[in-house]
């Protein structure tokens, strides 16, 4: 038994040593490669599993039974008793885990084709499935998972962004067949938004199609989150409208049971009861100010889409302003985030006071207004004037919500100078999963 345990442990170590060797050096180590092939064949797995040029999709297409083994592969149930460990299963798991990790984290160098990017995105999806997530969930920041999961999502985003930068994107977009291989992602959308002024004809049409697809996918997820959030209580101070559709039939019958005539088998109704359907109807104004400098792309895309969703709610008046060194009022297009994104100009510096000067005149009733400001708040020599403007808005009665990051993959850092002052003001910076901002907005607007 001891020899069998030792044999399983040695096999698992061979596979993991081979994984580490290939991650840090593209050159094959002959001894490790031959030993790994022997292990894989001995446990009944296809040798193609060791080839980083073969996608997980291709493996699963040839061996469909393996698909289920990848789901939750890296979240196995732990056992405290060493004797109860299934070491044979651990060897098999090591082979499958090595496949996914090598394909995702050994992204190579040089020019990337549309097909290579598509294959990497698919393999990254299998890694997410192995971690118990849906494909795209970690990279899209929609899991709301632990810090470790969020950190991995960041790393995947960095790798994907590097692949996109290494791709001749303009040439790919100009070829409908190649463009069709692209899967929308934040890294790809960021590159498209940066380069859109250099595109025309077929390339521009394909770029717009990819942006529209991504916007629609994210909007569907965010719309679900908004719908799940609390929506506010019925206003009992408003009398129910006495119309047939509001008639509470069950309550009416119950309250009039004393008028039942057994002889006539008839219920005499002397009072009707109606349901309360009216809700508080005070219009709420939502002013969203978005920093469109290069460091805030992910947050800008998410919050632009979120603003359009809230703009579709009754009794919510949404205004949208984007800024870098200048400010632009995007309110006329707030219902269509696709149009908004096409009108943005990514990059450059930022001048918060210019945006505040445009936003403050939009405040009509401070008590019924919420202002969301999305930025990393690195203002250089304009920090004090911007904070003074924010402080004045907050003290006027406006609900001010500073948002440092509602991202999926990009690393985000909020200016510590602003972070401390917002905390002292009683308006701490929201950072992390976009669900936090959704809940804050629904609490105020509901």
Structural tokens at position 367: 């008590």
Query: First vs last Cα of the chain: how many Å apart?
Result: 65
DSSP 79-139: -S-GGG--HHHHHHHHHHHHHHHHHHH---SS-B-HHHHHHHHHHHHHHHHHTTS-TTTTT
277: pLDDT confidence band, cut at 50, 70 and 90?
Answer: low
Q: Residues of the chain with pLDDT > 70: what percent? A: 82
Rounded Cα distance, 392 and 366, in Å: 11
What pLDDT is recorded for position 407? Answer: 52
By the 8 A CB rule, do 300 and 410 touch?
no
Say yes or no: domain 284-445 is CATH 3.40.50.410: yes
Task: Report the chain's mean pLDDT, rounded to a whole number.
Answer: 81
Sign of CA dihedral 33, 35, 37, 43: negative
What is the rounded radius of gyration, in angstroms, for the C-alpha atoms of the chain?
28
18: pLDDT confidence band, cut at 50, 70 and 90?
Answer: very high
Rounded Cα distance, 165 and 157, in Å: 12
For range 426-430, the mean pLDDT: 87
The CA-atom distances, in angstroms, between 199 and each of 165, 173, 211, 316, 353 are 16, 9, 14, 36, 33
- The secondary structure of residue 286, as a DSSP letter, is E
Structural tokens at position 98: 């090595």
For range 43-50, the mean pLDDT: 90
Query: What are φ and ψ of residue 99, in 5° steps?
Result: -60, -50
Bigger pLDDT: 435 vs 326: 326
Structural tokens at position 138: 């970690």
What pLDDT is recorded for position 411? Answer: 47
The string of pLDDT tens digits covering residues 66-98 is 999 999 999 866 655 666 678 889 999 999 999
What pLDDT is recorded for position 127? Answer: 93
pLDDT at 364 exceeding the cut of 80 = yes
Quick one: which of 395, 403, 402 has its CA closest to 367?
395
Query: For residues 188-221, b (16+ Cβ closer than 10 Å) or e, as one string?
Result: bbbbbbebbeebeeebbebbbbbbbebbeebbeb
Ordered by start, the domain boundaries in the chain are 2-221, 234-278, 284-445
The CA-atom distances, in angstroms, between 8 and each of 22, 66, 130, 346, 429 are 22, 21, 22, 54, 50
What pLDDT is recorded for position 99? Answer: 93
Bigger pLDDT: 195 vs 395: 395
For the ranges 19-23, 184-188, 280-284, the maximum mean pLDDT occurs at 19-23
Strand 260-261, strand 266-267: pairing: antiparallel
The string of pLDDT tens digits covering residues 247-275 is 788 888 878 888 888 888 888 888 888 77
201: left (phi over 0), alpha (psi -120 to 50) or beta: left
Rounded Cα distance, 84 and 80, in Å: 8
């Amino acid at each position: 038994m001891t020899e069998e345990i030792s044999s399983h442990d040695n096999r698992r170590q061979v596979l993991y040593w081979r994984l580490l060797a290939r991650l840090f050096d593209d050159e094959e180590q002959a001894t490790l490669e031959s030993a790994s092939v022997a292990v894989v064949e001995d446990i009944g797995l296809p040798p193609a599993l060791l080839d980083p040029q073969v996608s997980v999709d291709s493996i699963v297409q040839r061996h469909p039974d393996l698909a289920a083994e990848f789901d939750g592969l890296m979240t196995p149930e732990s056992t405290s008793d060493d004797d109860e460990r299934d070491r044979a299963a651990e060897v098999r798991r090591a082979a499958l885990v090595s496949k996914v990790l090598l394909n995702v984290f050994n992204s190579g160098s040089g020019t990337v084709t549309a097909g290579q990017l598509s294959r990497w995105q698919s393999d990254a999806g299998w890694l997410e499935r192995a971690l118990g997530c849906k494909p795209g969930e970690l990279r899209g920041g929609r899991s709301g998972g632990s810090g470790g999961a969020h950190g991995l999502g960041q790393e995947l985003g960095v790798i994907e962004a590097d692949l996109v930068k290494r791709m001749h994107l303009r040439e790919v977009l100009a070829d409908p067949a190649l463009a069709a291989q692209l899967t929308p992602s934040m890294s790809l959308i960021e590159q498209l938004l940066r380069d859109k002024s250099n595109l025309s004809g077929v390339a521009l049409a394909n770029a717009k199609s990819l942006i529209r697809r991504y916007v629609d996918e994210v909007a569907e997820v965010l719309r679900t989150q908004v719908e799940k959030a609390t929506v506010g209580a019925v206003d009992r101070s408003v009398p129910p409208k006495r119309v047939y559709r509001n008639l509470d039939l069950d309550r009416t019958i119950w309250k009039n049971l004393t008028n039942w005539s057994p002889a006539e088998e008839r219920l005499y109704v002397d009072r009707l009861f109606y349901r309360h359907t009216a809700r508080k109807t005070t219009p709420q104004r939502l002013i969203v100010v978005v920093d469109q400098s290069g460091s805030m792309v992910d947050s800008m895309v998410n919050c632009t889409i979120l603003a359009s969703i809230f703009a579709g709610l009754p009794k919510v008046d949404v205004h949208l302003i984007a800024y870098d060194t200048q400010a632009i009022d995007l309110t006329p297009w707030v219902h269509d985030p696709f149009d908004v994104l096409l009108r943005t100009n990514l990059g450059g510096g930022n001048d918060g006071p210019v945006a505040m000067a445009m936003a403050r005149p939009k405040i009509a009733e401070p008590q019924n207004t919420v202002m969301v400001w999305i930025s990393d708040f690195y203002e250089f020599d304009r920090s004090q004037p911007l904070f003074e403007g924010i402080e004045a808005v907050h003290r006027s009665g406006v609900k001010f919500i500073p948002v440092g990051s509602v991202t999926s993959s990009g690393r985000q850092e909020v200016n510590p100078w602003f972070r401390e002052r917002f905390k002292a003001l009683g308006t701490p910076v929201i950072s992390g999963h976009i669900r936090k901002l959704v809940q804050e907005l629904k609490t105020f607007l509901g």
